[in-house]
């Protein structure tokens, strides 16, 4: 068929006597079909691009939503860590008796908003919030490290103070030199065996009973001393001396360091004595004091005077 072949198209109205007659060639028909096809292709291409854009936007929104969830979980975890560490810091401060330091900026425990003016959360806003929480967390952890170091220092100082106090107490007479012995001679004026002031107490004991140091110290002397007979003098280094007289045996020598409760000798009947017993005398800064309050612990008045 020839492309120039002609066709006639007649349009007859429902009413009217005029008949419209059009003449077209095969070329016109082919050209028109191609044009319609091109238009259809453009329409279909535009629709496909629009569908692609919608899918891309949905994927972006889904990705942003997942990022927001991840960041929100991270923020919650950091905030929880901050709360725990700050609580521990406060407890440590109370235990060691130090004032609390200023909290990191933002406090780390307040749930601040990362919602922008649009009313919808944004990844950038939440990311900045998480960064701020991370900075606060690092500051709080540094404070915790400082507190741990301070706590160790305080504990060491407290331990040293306890050791020093223990040394003070160990050097104060506070035990009965002859365990379970009763006082048979008072710290007082008496008429027998002589009329004089008795500057110690006599502890009833059997010959050979063990005698123990009433406090820690250094043996100042261990020898014969007139009416005291065999006598031990212990210097406790704090103004106190304790004397143990009428002994039958020495178990220590001058210059020897002894601990509280250590065996130092045995009960005897030497010197001016009417029978086996221990003459126990406590000297404070060169003056005799009543030993009775020192037989069962450090006297309260002495404890009150200690640092």
**The tokens 């944004």 sit on which residue?**
122
Residue 103's SS3 state is coil
Which of 59-63, 118-122, 271-275, 284-288 is predicted most confidently? 284-288
Which residues, 6+ apart, have CB-to-CB distance to 127 below 8 Å? 71
Better-scored residue on pLDDT, 42 or 109: 42
Reply yes or no on whether the pLDDT at 188 is more than 90: yes
What phi, psi does 181 have (nearest 5°)? -75, 145
What's the CA dihedral at 150, 156, 162, 167 to 10 degrees? Answer: -150
- Give the CATH class of 183-305: mainly beta
Q: What is the mean pLDDT of residues 82-110?
A: 62
Q: Hey, how many other C-beta atoms are within 10 angstroms of the C-beta on 12?
A: 10
**Residue 281 carries which DSSP code?**
E
Q: pLDDT-based confidence at 104, cuts 50/70/90?
A: very low
Give the predicted TM-score (pTM) of the model.
Answer: 0.56
Supply the pLDDT for residue 113.
Answer: 46
Reply yes or no on whether the pLDDT at 173 is more than 50: yes
Which residues, 6+ apart, have CB-to-CB distance to 222 below 8 Å? 231, 232, 233, 250, 252, 253, 254, 265
How far is Cα of residue 115 from the mean position of the Cα atoms in its chain? 37
pLDDT in tens, 26-81: 666 666 666 656 656 665 666 666 766 777 777 767 776 676 677 667 777 777 76
Distance between CA 214 and CA 291 in Å, rounded? Answer: 10
Q: Which helix (H) or strand (E) holds 26?
A: helix 26-96
Q: What percent of the chain has pLDDT over 70?
A: 70
Supply the pLDDT for residue 276.
Answer: 97
Reply yes or no on whether the pLDDT at 3 is more than 60: no
Domain residue limits, the chain: 6-76, 84-170, 183-305
């Amino acid at each position: 068929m020839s492309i120039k072949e002609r066709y006639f198209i007649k349009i007859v109205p429902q009413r009217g006597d005029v008949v419209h007659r059009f003449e077209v060639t095969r070329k016109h028909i082919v050209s028109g079909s191609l044009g319609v096809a091109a238009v259809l292709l453009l329409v279909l291409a535009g629709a496909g691009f629009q569908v692609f854009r919608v899918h891309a936007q949905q994927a972006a929104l889904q990705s942003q939503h997942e990022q927001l969830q991840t960041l929100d979980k991270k923020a919650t975890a950091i905030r929880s860590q901050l709360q725990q560490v700050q609580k521990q810091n406060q407890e440590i401060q109370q235990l060691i008796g130090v004032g609390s330091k200023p909290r990191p900026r933002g406090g780390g425990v307040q749930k601040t908003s990362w919602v922008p003016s649009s009313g919808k959360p944004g990844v950038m806003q939440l990311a900045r919030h998480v960064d701020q929480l991370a900075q606060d967390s690092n500051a709080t952890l540094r404070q915790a490290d400082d507190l741990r170091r301070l706590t160790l220092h305080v504990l060491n100082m407290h331990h040293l103070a306890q050791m020093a106090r223990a040394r003070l107490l160990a050097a104060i007479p506070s035990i009965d030199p002859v365990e379970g012995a009763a006082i048979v001679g008072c710290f007082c004026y008496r008429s027998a065996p002589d009329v004089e002031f008795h500057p110690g107490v006599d502890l009833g004991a059997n010959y050979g009973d063990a005698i123990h140091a009433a406090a820690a110290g250094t043996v100042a002397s261990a020898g014969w001393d007139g009416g005291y007979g065999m006598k031990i003098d212990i210097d406790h280094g704090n103004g106190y001396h304790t004397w143990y007289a009428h002994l039958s045996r020495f178990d220590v020598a001058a210059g020897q360091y002894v601990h509280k409760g250590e065996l130092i000798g045995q009960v005897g009947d030497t010197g001016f004595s009417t029978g086996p017993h221990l003459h126990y005398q406590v000297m404070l800064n060169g003056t005799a004091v009543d030993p009775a309050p020192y037989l069962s612990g450090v006297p309260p008045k002495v404890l009150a005077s200690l640092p």
